[in-house]
Chains A and B, each alone.
Chain A
Amino acid sequence: EIVLTQSPGTLSLSPGERATLSCRASQSVSGNYLAWYQQKPGQAPRLLIYGASSRATGIPDRFSGSGSGTDFTLTISRLEPEDFAIYYCQQYGPPRGTFGQGTKVEI
């Protein structure tokens, strides 16, 4: 099973700043089957990025994903107040998907 490790655990930033979140896999993620989800307090997760770099429907272009193999990055170019949340990466290749432990982006 692929283990995903996210860093940092918490990122303290201000609105307007750039956020860079990391997700490292214990082995290569096949097909770059790597997704990012956002979860706000009291809400269900929302799909942001899939295929390492493709934005899901309706996701603003300040969110971007990059990386391949074992190292992936989610970048939020300019933080908006509504972006403060927990972000999870997920590898969705076979045989089963696994999640990272999450990175909290806080003010």
Chain B
Amino acid sequence: EVQLVESGGGLVQPGRSLRLSCAASGFIFNDYTMYWVRQAPGKGLEWVSGIRGDSSDTAYADSVKGRFTISRDNAKNSLFLQMNSLRPEDTALYYCVRASRVAIRLFDYWGQGSLVTVSS
């Protein structure tokens, strides 16, 4: 069974940093592109960042480019999101998401999310 479990969220002041983690199990982790997708309270879904299975390529939404860094540790079946210079508008539930083998931007499994609140 595919499982994605996020951790590391919390309350942080504007301008500070936070690192999210995602523990993956139930599939061959390094075979899959992985993503972070976020959802602000009461709002829709926003793709944040993605990384290829071998870390050869990464991508970021314009809203986070230069502030967030995605990475992975295939030996530990883990995905990370380093978030720097956080802003109140980054407040959201952050989902760890697996890309389908059908297409690399099609999301077939989602974690339950980790809540990040940016407030003074």
Asked if residues B106 and A99 are in contact (CB atoms below 8 Å), the reply is no
Asked if residues B59 and A56 are in contact (CB atoms below 8 Å), the reply is no
Interface size class of B (residues with CB under 8 A): 10 to 19
Determine chain B's interface SS by DSSP, over half rule.
loop
Knowing A88-B45, A101-B44, the reply to whether A50 touches B113 (Cβ < 8 A) is no
Chain A neighbourhood of B112, CB < 8 A: 43-44
Least distance between B39 CB and chain A CB atoms (Å):
9
> Is B29 at the interface (CB under 8 A from chain A)?
no
> Is B73 at the interface (CB under 8 A from chain A)?
no
Asked if residues A47 and B47 are in contact (CB atoms below 8 Å), the reply is no
| New A-B contacts (4) at CB < 8 Å, excluding given A33-B106, A56-B108, A96-B59 | A50-B102, A50-B103, A93-B105, A94-B105
**27 residue pairs from A and B, CB less than 8 Å apart:** A33-B103, A33-B105, A37-B107, A44-B95, A44-B113, A45-B95, A45-B107, A45-B110, A46-B110, A50-B103, A50-B106, A90-B45, A90-B107, A92-B103, A92-B105, A93-B105, A94-B105, A96-B47, A96-B105, A97-B47, A97-B105, A97-B106, A97-B107, A99-B44, A99-B45, A100-B44, A102-B45
